[in-house]
Amino acid sequence: MMMGEFYDEDATMDCPIGGSKSIVDALVRGIEKHGGKVFCNTGVEEIIIEDGKTKGVRIASKNKEKKGRVVRVKKAVVSNLSVWDLYGSGIVDQSAFPDSLVKERMATPLGKSFMHLHVGFRATKAELEALQAHYMHIDDWSKGIEGEDNAALLSIPSVHDDSLAPEGYGVLHIYTPATEEFDRWEGLDRKSEDYKALKEERSQYLWHVLEKIIPDIKERVVVSQVG
């Protein structure tokens, strides 16, 4: 965590102009500049291993009865799947790896999670300019940032970049620093009313902190999403 450096005299916290999409766009330009291709909304059903080396991926076919086409690689396949999905979902043949390695990876303990609140809200340019782009809030320093419902970080990129929302509006993102116990969420149906109710309940701390900075935020909200 960067908490120690957050308030150093020479510390700088930047928001990318155009939002995080601008970072993605820059990465895509770099990939394509060097001859690469980017496939969006494309599922991978298999990582192909031949002679002990990854040779490519099989793209999921829209026709479930047919195998998808294969994209071959020159060097390697880099996967950003979780260890549980990589070794437990069938996307890769477990037998291609030592049993001890698979067992060790599958035994990786779950870390704590984040609560996220994204909000689009009404605000004049003058009101946005009166805010800071970043805030860190801690209720009780003795509990530290690891304490549940004790710390939150807030980003209001509209303070610096008015392209992220229509005129007269702003956007913000407030979240807990990996303090949310995952146990209470595990196994819940994400389409269920119980899941929606828990999101509403667990987001109240974020609203509580947000009201300390923008007291009438709930009157200004146009759209909000909890994750």
Tokens of 215: 């007291």
Lookup result for tokens 């946005």 = 128
Residue 54 backbone phi and psi in degrees, to 5: -75, 130
Q: Which amino acid is at 179?
A: T
Tokens of 91: 């996307």
Number of other residues whose CB lies within 10 A of the CB of residue 59: 17
Cβ pair 3, 145 in contact under 8 A: yes
Residue among 175, 181, 182 nearest 137 (CA):
175
- The pLDDT tens digits of the residues spanning 181-197 come to 988 998 899 999 999 99
pTM comes to 0.75
What percent of the chain stands above pLDDT 90? 73
Mean pLDDT over 99-107 rounds to 93
5 to 2, 76, 191: CA distances (angstroms): 5, 37, 40
pLDDT tops 90 at residue 63: no
d(CA 186, CA 144): 25
* 199: enclosing H helix or E strand: helix 193-202
Tokens of 96: 């291609």
* pLDDT number for residue 28: 96
Residue 68 banded pLDDT, cuts 50, 70, 90:
confident
206 to 71, 73, 125, 138: CA distances (angstroms): 44, 44, 24, 12
